[in-house]
Chains A and B, each alone.
Chain A
Amino acid sequence: MTGSAAIQASLYGSHALPLRPAGQVMQLERLGAMHQSRLSFMRSLVRRIMRERWQITPALMELDDQGYGRVIYRIQAPQGCYSFVLFSDYLSPEDRNDRVIATKWDLTMALVAGDLATEVSNGDESYLQQLRDNVPKQEAGRVDSRVFVLSRANRSARNFDYVVDQLARGEQPEAAKIAKVGYLYRTTAVYGSGKLGMADWQKVQSHWLDFARPFSAEMFVCFMLRNFSLLQAEHIAKTRSPDTFTPMELGLKRYFGIGNSTGLGMAPYLINHPLLINRWVEMRELALGRICAMAEPDSSVRDRFGALLQRCDQHTREVFCEDEWQENNNRMLLDDLQRLQQQMIDGISDWSSLLQWSTQHCSLQGQEMLVSVLLELYPTLVDELENHCCTNESMDLDPQMSLTELTSLIENHYDWALDIDFSQPEAKQTFWYRSEEKMEPRLGDCALEPGADKQMPLGIGYLVRECYDQLQAFAGHEQATCAEFLLQQPQSRGIVRRIQAMSNTLFGEIRANLLDKDVLPMHLLRAKLAFFGVSKFDPRSKLWVRNTMFQGAPLLEDIGKPFADDWFMPLNPQSNPQSDR
C-alpha cells in the first residue's frame, strides 16, 4: 500500500501529478453532477467486508408472524466484534412520516461494540433493555458511548406488501416494479459522531478500526438494514404461507437496495467540514490524475470501457423520477453517453485527451460520469486511496502571518468570492437557519421570512468579502500580524483561521455563494450522496432528494464467495441476465 507521505508527494510539491484545477473541480454545479465511484464509501465498505470475509450472523432473532420483535446480528470483523441491534414495531398510518421531525418508525437500529447476543444468552439482558428503552425513541432517547450509530427506517408500504404477497404465493416479484422503487425500507436519518450520547468519531477511529474510515459505520448500518429488510419480508411470507412460500431469487434480491431521503441537514456538513471534503476530492482527483498519467487504453480496457458506458446508459434509462430538472439531466447524460460511445469507436489515444474532449462536448453530468467510469477501469490505481480519506480537521490560526500575506491568500484562493457582487440584494437574499423542530436546517428568504438575524454562518464567500474589506480598512498596517488584526477585529477570528487553513489545501472551498437568491442546495446534497455512493437520484423539491443505497451490492450470503466488486451502476436483473449467479 502506498504510504501517506507518498500520497502527499503525489498531491503537493515538485513530484505532484497534474490534476484538474480547483477552479474547475470545486464549482458547486460540477460537484452536484458527481456520480458514485469505486471510492464511494459504500463501495469501499463492501470491498472490506468481502475481502476480509466478515462473519455476520443473526445471533438473536425474535420476530412474530408480522415481523415485529427484536433482532441482534453478531458481526465478527478482523479487529473486533460488534452487534447490530434492531427493533421492529407496529407503526400506525397516521404516525408514518419520513421527515426528520417524525417521532415513531417501523424500524429503529443501533450499531454497538461487543457481543451483545452472547450477553443475552448468558442471561444478562440489562444492556439490551437499555437499548430497547431508548433506541426506538431516537432523538428523544439517550444512549451511551458503546453505541456508535443510531438509525431508523420506514417501510415502502406498497413495495413491502407486494413482495411479501408474491413470495407467500410462491412467485417472484416483478423486476420491472422493483426498478421503479428499488427498496423495501427508506431510512430517514443515520446518526453517528457522538450524537445523543454515542461514541465520538475520535473513539470510533481509534477503538474500532474496522470502521475507521469516514461514514463507514453509518454505511454499514444501511447495508445491514437492507439485508434485514429482505430477511424480514421472507420471514413474514414464509410464516403466512409455509406451503407455497418461495425464497427470492438471488439476482433479484441483490437488486433491492435501501431507500434514503436526504434533506438540508446534509448541506451544512459540507460547509462545516471543508478540510474533510477537500480530502475526499483530493483522493478522487488523484485517482483520476493517476489514470491520466499512467494508464494506457489498450484493447481490453477499451472493451471494458465500452461495456461500462453501455451499463451506465441502461442504468440511467432505468431511473424513474418525476422531477423535470433531474429528468432533463438524465436526458443530457444519455446524449453524453452516446457521444462517448462514438468517441470510443472513433478511437481513443489517451484518457487525458478524452477527458479534455468531454469538457467541450458533454454536460457536467456526462463529464463526471466519465470520471466515475475511468475510476472503474483501474482498481489497482484507485482502490488503495480509500485508506487516505480521513484527515485532521482542526484548523489552527497562524497569528504571526502578516496582513499582506493574508490579503494575498484571499486574492489567490478566494478570487471566486471577491468576484461576487454582494452589494446586490439578491446576493444575500437566502439565509440558512436552524429550526426549533429538532434543529432541522432550513432555508429562508430574507425579504419574506423572519430569522435572518439567527442565520448560520454558511455564506463563506460573504464572510471572506467582509474580512477582505476590513483588511483594506487596516491600510498602512500591512506588516501588522493577524494576531494584531484580530485583537481589533475579533469577529473575523473564525474566517481568518479558515482562510489560512484552506489556503494550504489543494482544492479548498466549495465555490458557491450559498446566500444567493437562486442557490440550489440540491447540488450540495448530491455531492455528498455521490461520495457515499448512492444512485437513482429523485429530487422531490430543490431541498430534498430520494435515492437508493446499496442497490446491486452483494448480500450477506455472498460473503466468502468470489467477489468481482462490479456493482457500479446496477441494472434491472431482467436487462442483465448474468446477475442471477
Chain B
Amino acid sequence: MYVSLNELSAALRRCFEANGYSVGQYEDAANAIVWLEQHGCKGLDELYRSLPFLETDQVKPGSQVSYEDASSLVLECTGRSALNCVAAAVDLVQVKARHAGIATLTLHNCHNRMFVMKALADCGRRGLSAVAYWQNGSDVITEHTAAIRAGDSYPNYARVALSPEACDDVAEHQSLTLLCTRQLNLTSSLRNQLKGKDLLELTPQQLEENGRVALDKGIHIDAQLWASINDIGSAVLVENSESSRQGAGE
C-alpha cells in the first residue's frame, strides 16, 4: 500500500510517543525514518529491525560521555537505537566543529546507524561538511559511508559487503565515526568497494530524485508493517466513554 509522507510521519510520531519518546525525540525519530525512506535508503526496513527493541530503549541509561576534549567526543549509547540518540550526538559534534574547525564523534553501542543520514543532511543545511563511517552485521559484515558538503541538501552514500579478511572488530562495538568541519568539504568512498560484494552507491542527485518520486507517488509500505506502527501508536489514544463524548458535538 501507499501512504503519504505526512501520514507516515504522524503514525511514526504516535508510535514513538507510545514508547516513551518525548516530543523532540519522537519528531526526530519520525523525521529520520521518513527521510531515509523518501530518499530511497530503506528507512522502513531499518525501522522494522528496530521495532522489537523500541520499548526497551527508553529504559536504558541515556548517552554517556566516555571521552571529550575541544575537538573530539566519544559517546557510549548503551545499546540504544540511533533513532534515540544520534541527533543529540551530532548536535554536540557540530558545536565542537564550529569552535575547533574540525571535530570527531565516535559512538559506541549504537544500533540502526543508517539513521545518521538525516543528521548528515542537517549538517549540510547548517553549513557544515561531515562524513560518517560504520560497519554493520554479524555473519555478513557491511561497510557504510556517507558524506555531505557544506550547504548541500543531500549526502552521498556507499555500502559494500566485506570479504572475511577485510573485517575488523569495529562492527562488534556497533560503532560509528563521524568527522564534522566548517573548514573543508569532505567526500568519502570505500577503499574496499573494489574487493567487496553487493556494492551500492547513491549520489546526492539520486537521493534528490528518489525524494521527488516519493513526494509524487507516496511511500510504499508493507500493510503489516503499517498495521504494526499504528497498533503500537494506538497506545496514546484514550478509551471512549460517554462523558468524553459529551459536548464534543451532536
Contact = CB atoms under 8 A, between A and B. Distances in A.
A486 B6 contact: no
B2 A144 contact: yes
B205 interface: no
A164 interface: no
B137 interface: no
A440 B4 contact: no
Given A197-B7, A198-B4, A434-B236, A203 B215 contact: yes
Interface string A96-129: 0111100000000000000000000000000000
Interface stretch (B92-100, B163-171, B191-199): B92-100
A263 B249 contact: yes
A174 B4 CA distance: 46
Interface in B208-250: 215-218, 234-241, 243-245, 247-250
Contacts of B94: 399-400, 483
B28 interface: yes
B249 A444 contact: no
A264 interface: yes
A435 B244 contact: yes
Contacts of A493: 22-25, 28, 87-88
Interface string A434-452: 1111011010100011110
Main secondary structure of the interface of B (DSSP, over half): helix
Interface string B40-65: 00000000000000000000001101
A399 B4 contact: no
Nearest to B18: A454
B248 A454 contact: no
A440 B239 CA distance: 11
A478 interface: no
B244 A449 contact: yes
A543 B4 contact: no
Interface residues of A, number: 63
A463 B23 CA distance: 10
B237 A454 contact: yes
B3 interface: yes
B23 A196 contact: no
Interface stretch (A210-218, A279-287, A335-343, A494-502): A494-502
Given A400-B94, A454-B237, A494-B23, A261 B2 contact: no
Contacts of B236: 434, 454
Interface residues of B, number: 46
Contact of B91 (A440, A483, A491, A543): A483
Contacts of A487: 62-63, 65, 88-89, 92
B214 to A, nearest CB: 9
B4 A457 contact: no
B7 A436 contact: no
Max chain A Cβ within 10 angstroms of own Cβ: one of B125, B216, B238: B238
Contacts of B215: 200, 202-203, 206
B24 A194 contact: no
Contacts of A540: 249-250
A534 B234 CA distance: 34
Contact of A542 (B218, B241, B247): B247
A481 interface: yes
B91 A434 contact: no
A97 B6 contact: no
B91 to A, nearest CB: 4
B107 to A, nearest CB: 13
Nearest to B7: A194
Contacts of B244: 435, 442, 444, 449, 451
B248 A491 contact: no
A495 B25 CA distance: 11
A481 B248 contact: no
Contact of B248 (A99, A199, A397): A99
A436 B2 contact: no
Interface string A367-406: 0000000000000000000000000000011011000000
Interface of B: 1-7, 22-25, 27-28, 62-63, 65, 87-89, 91-92, 94-95, 98, 122, 125-126, 215-218, 234-241, 243-245, 247-250
30 contacts: A144-B2, A144-B218, A145-B2, A194-B6, A195-B4, A197-B3, A198-B4, A201-B6, A203-B215, A206-B215, A397-B24, A399-B95, A433-B238, A434-B237, A436-B234, A436-B239, A449-B241, A450-B239, A451-B244, A454-B236, A482-B91, A483-B92, A487-B88, A487-B89, A490-B88, A491-B25, A493-B24, A493-B28, A540-B250, A543-B249
Given A99-B250, A436-B240, 8 more contacts: A195-B6, A197-B1, A202-B215, A444-B238, A483-B92, A484-B92, A487-B62, A493-B25
